[in-house]
Structure 1
Amino acid sequence: MREVLQARAVRLGESAATREEAITRCGQVLVEIGAVAQPYVAAMLERERSVSTYVGEGVAIPHGTSKEHVTRDAICVLRFPGGIDWDGENVVVCVGIAARGDGHVALLAELAEILLDPERARALREATDVDAVMKELT
């Protein structure tokens, strides 16, 4: 995961009133770091309308399906300390994913491994330092 996560894509003091705002913010970070073109953000929102990207442990993994708008594989990690209502679940961390091919499958598997460890999932939810997030995910 080291090759797809950059420190500048980790934002720990975000706020959003809705999951749509949170997903849009994830998409914008992916745009800012040059991983996707702007239309990918709409694809992330469309994907969420069809299937929730909530994965448990206070984490959602929003991603789009329009691979033509992805310039390189990348992830962003946004922490929402106030939490976001995600269809009745409280989400504190959103990990936005951009993948050109099937790279998202490997990324999802790596993230699932982290989330299956309650201590690592807690560390991610409670992180207040970018270096701590980088260490936990790489």
Structure 2
Amino acid sequence: MRDGLLDPRAVLLHESAPDRDAAIRRCGRALVEVGAVAEPYIEAMLERERTISTYVGEGVAIPHGTNASKEDIKHDAICVVRFPGGVDWDGELVTLCVGIAARGDGHVPLLAAVAEILLDPDRARTLREATEVSRVLEELT
């Protein structure tokens, strides 16, 4: 994954959320806080989730905005938000969210890179169990 996509401030490893939408909002907020997206992008992430689930298996979801929300993206970025207690995601238990913001078709290689990591059970476990930001950065860069 190319450098500059993951700001260490967008790696949050000890979060909790009462439900899926709150978890998505937390991901969106992390992207807003590092200057990657404008505030309306958070609503677009929720809208995307209502259209199609971003749950990908193994306790992981990859929330991202709709195509219409591209103008709210200032630069490509990801966030990694861990929910150690888990979040009910339409009947699945999610402990790790990798939020994505990408202009143009930038989300395609980003999703592919994230999927490649998550398809490796050891790397996926490392991310799900990480308690140090440096460990996440090491795994994703």
What is the TM-score with the length of structure 2 in the denominator? 0.96
The one-letter code matched in structure 1 to 2:120 is D
SS in 2 for 1:22: helix
**1:89 maps to which residue?**
92
The one-letter code matched in structure 2 to 1:109 is A
**2:23 maps to which residue?**
22
- Does residue 7 of structure 1 match 2:22? no
Give aligned-pair identity as a percent: 72
- Does residue 104 of structure 1 match 2:107? yes
Q: Distance in 1 between matches of 2:139 and 2:57?
A: 17
Q: Distance in 1 between matches of 2:47 and 2:72?
A: 14
SS in 2 for 1:3: coil
TM superposition outliers: structure 1 runs of 4+ over 6 Å: none
CA deviation string 1:33-67 (max 9, x = no partner): 10000000000000000000001111100000210
SS in 1 for 2:15: coil
Structure 1 alignment gaps of length 5 or more: none
Q: Distance in 2 between matches of 1:14 and 1:33?
A: 17
Q: Distance in 1 between matches of 2:140 and 2:11?
A: 11
Structure 2 alignment gaps of length 5 or more: none
SS in 1 for 2:112: helix
- Does residue 132 of structure 1 match 2:129? no
Give the total of aligned pairs. Answer: 138
SS in 2 for 1:101: coil
The one-letter code matched in structure 2 to 1:129 is E
Q: Distance in 1 between matches of 2:96 and 2:83?
A: 6
Q: Distance in 1 between matches of 2:17 and 2:58?
A: 19
CA deviation string 1:93-134 (max 9, x = no partner): 001100111111001000111111100000000000000000
Q: 1:72 aligns with which of 71, 75, 86?
A: 75
Query: Superposition pairs for residues 55-66 of structure 1, below 5 Å?
Result: 55-65=56-66, 66=69
Q: CA deviation at 1:88?
A: 1.1
The one-letter code matched in structure 1 to 2:52 is V
SS in 2 for 1:31: helix
Q: Distance in 1 between matches of 2:71 and 2:133?
A: 30
SS in 1 for 2:64: coil
